[in-house]
Amino acid sequence: MIQEYLFKKENLKTFNILEEPGTYFVKVNNNINQSHFYDEDEHPRYLVSLKLIHKDDIEKCLKLFGNHEQIPFKHIRPYLLTGVIWESQILHGIDLPIKNEEVIATFNFIDDKLKCTSLTLIPRKELNLLELEQVCKSRKLLNDLLKLEN
């Protein structure tokens, strides 16, 4: 049996509102993986659901819920904005964005509808590990120097 995903009305609180063309930092709505890969034409790409809704679609989404707190995701999906990441942008599967990760999204009018024309991944950076031994040595040295001054 195929699981039908439900979308909770309260999750709309985490969505941003798109009002006009432009380039924005936008969060990804789910973990992107191979199941989001589309290769049925000459432009293989990953389909990316964004935590973004056009201002004109807010009321339509709320009507879908009616008195319910959750509805099947497939009903609300057409109103949530999406973009694509081209296969050539991804060297390794680990490079695909995860839920709530920010991407840079550009929106413009295509056929009189505001659509995502470009998604750019924000390069990830590695953080340094805390070298506790070095920090402790530095603190001890500083404390020793302060004691000598007094």
Q: Please say whether the beta carbons of 120 and 39 come within 8 A.
A: no
CB atoms within 10 A of CB 29: 21
pLDDT higher than 80, residue 1: no
Q: What is the pLDDT of residue 134?
A: 81
Per-residue confidence band for 38, with pLDDT thresholds at 50, 70 and 90: very high
Burial grade of 113 (CB within 10 A; 0-12, 13-18, 19 or more)? exposed
Number of CB atoms found within 10 A of residue 89's CB: 14
| pLDDT given for residue 150 in this prediction | 66
Q: Which of 96, 120, 80, 101 is CA-nearest to residue 35? A: 96
29: pLDDT strictly greater than 90:
yes
Q: Which two tokens stand for residue 128?
A: 């340094």
Q: For the segment 82-125, what is each residue's pLDDT rounded down to a tens digit?
A: 999 999 999 888 899 999 999 999 999 999 999 999 999 998 88
Where is pLDDT greater, at 27 or 133? Answer: 27
Q: For residue 3, name the pLDDT band (cuts at 50, 70, 90).
A: low
